[in-house]
Amino acid sequence: MIVTITPNPSLDRTYELRTLTPGEVNRATHDRLDPGGKGVNVSRALTAAGHRTTAVLPLGGPSGRLLSDLLRGQGIDVEAVAISGDTRINVSIAERGGSLTKINAVGPELSAAESAALLELVRDAHRFGQGTGNGVEWLACCGSLPRGLEPEWYAELVARAHSGGARIALDTSGPALVAALAARPDVVKPNREELAEAVGRPVATVGDAVGAAGELRERGAQQVLASLGADGMLLVAEEGSWFGSAPVAVVRSDVGAGDASLAGFLGAGGTGPGALVAALAHGAAAVQLPGSAMPTPADLDPAAVVVTADIPLARPLRG
């Protein structure tokens, strides 16, 4: 049983075009509407893989009701805090050559009472598995914080999750990530840019990423699962460090690919090289699907994933 927390969820509208021409009328070849937000995507990927999950999120307005309906239609349990603002709608434009343009809305501002209600749901998260034989093993806290929530909000959430006996995975960035490290999250999942921001220096090689991940561990993170884009993923933990990559034939959309990776990692136990293999297989499958579609077991090719403890420290990172 894995519970996800998404403080700033969204509806994600994706348009696929041959080529985007700014300033002109562009006609889409395909479009789709998906539930969005990093934690929501983790729940969707877990459900697609056959795991039980509950999505905790603030919802408001017609877009919030539609988001809830879409999630329940996919078999995902929803625990919502009603808010006065409207749930945001994000737009992605995916070009055939692989270029992706994203427009993310700011989202609603949460009141102090709405923020407290979200934390209260986290405190009660253990009850979501009651009667099923499944206790809550992981709490995945994902995404940006909406207006009205201080950077320390995730740190408080981590502390509450640990007091309830759950392990915590944190996928956020900036001051919210830095503030939460002292609460000792069980795993954090930054990308290359977020790693560099957290340590205040460039991450140009795999070795730089290893060093930055080690610094996050020194500051409290128990494991660091770092996404390095097309170059692969890195796992740094007390038990050891591993680097892995997976082949991708054609990138169709990378929206939600990192969230699919985190779902694969947690679904495979959330520790060690086997979980890293699952993370890479899920991420590679996700980027070959349209919009923010999440992969099913039939989409995965874990046999194609290469994971090694012999980390190529000098390898430069692309981009």
Whole-prediction pTM = 0.92
Cβ atoms 309, 248 nearer than 8 A: no
Task: Say what the alpha-carbon torsion angle 40, 46, 47, 49 is, to the nearest 10 degrees.
Answer: 150
Reported residue count of the chain is 319
pLDDT tens string 10-59: 999 999 999 999 999 999 999 989 999 999 999 999 999 999 999 999 99
The band of 250, judged by pLDDT with boundaries at 50, 70 and 90, is: confident
Who's near 87: CB < 8 A, 6+ residues apart?
9, 10, 11, 58, 59, 60, 61, 63, 64, 67, 107, 108
pLDDT tens string 131-187: 444 578 899 999 999 999 999 999 999 988 888 788 999 999 999 999 999 999 999
Higher pLDDT, 227 or 123: 227
CATH pick for 2-308 out of 3.40.50.1370, 3.40.50.720, 3.40.1190.20, 3.60.15.10? 3.40.1190.20
Higher pLDDT, 252 or 271: 271
Q: Which of 103, 97, 105 is nearest to 16 (CA)?
A: 97
Q: List the domain boundaries for the chain.
A: 2-308
Please say if 259 is a catalytic residue.
Answer: yes
Give the pLDDT of residue 196.
97
The angle formed by the CA atoms of residues 48, 17 and 292, to the nearest 5 degrees, is 15
The band of 2, judged by pLDDT with boundaries at 50, 70 and 90, is: very high
Q: Which residue out of 259, 299, 301, 310 is catalytically annotated? A: 259
